[in-house]
Amino acid sequence: MRFTTFVLAATFASGLSGAAMAAEGGNAHQFAFTSIDGKPMPLSEFKGKTVLIVNTASQCGFTPQYTALEAVYTKYKDKGLVVVGVPSNNFGGQEPGSNAEIKKFCEGNYDVDFPLTTKYDVKGPDAHPFYKWAEAVGGTPAVPAWNFHKLLIGPDGKLVAEFPSKVKPDSSAVETAIETAMATPKG
């Protein structure tokens, strides 16, 4: 069933017309975050790479997924994968810390080496523009319903899959989607 979710999401995303993509902001490369260290993090830096964007929280039952996220990042980073963690306090107040506290927690407890952004809203009217775009092109399945929701962006900046919180980053469904996206022509 998990693979079916990926196939349906990929089919939906690839079925979007160019006009619809343009009307909804083109692709993910048009958006930028700020890194947890306060530096610009434009997604255009990742053109030609597959990007797994995950909204995270330090006090969630899914927080141990940081271990799997780091393992997936380590496994695929030399093949063109970037994992981006987006701390968010949208769900149950489970990311109350400052950016410095979040960074210390992630590095100290989970040896996180993948890029982290500053804390952002990922749903609702104050959601970061990337998340509004993802909802516009991916519909309800692309909207995080809880912490550790995963959005997979292809090398061309298109949304190719989404995975709910309960799907682990190192599951066969996620890894198959990553491998498929990495094999897509970079054009």
CATH code of 107's domain: 3.40.30.10
* Nearest Cα residue to 90 out of 145, 142, 32: 145
What is the total count of domains within the chain? 1
pLDDT-derived band at 187, boundaries 50, 70, 90: low
Residue 106 a catalytic site member = no
Amino acid at 142: A
Please pick, among 7, 32, 60, 68, the residue that the annotation labels catalytic. Answer: 60
Residue 17: per-residue pLDDT? 34
- What is the mean predicted confidence (pLDDT) over 182-187? 77
Angstrom distance (rounded) from CA 99 to CA 7: 36
Asked whether residue 112 carries a pLDDT value surpassing 70, the answer given is yes
Give the structural domain span for 137: 2-183
pTM over 0.85: yes
Question: No. of H helices and E strands in the chain?
Answer: 6, 6
Q: Quote the crossing angle between the two packed helices 172-183 and 65-76, to the nearest 10°.
A: 30
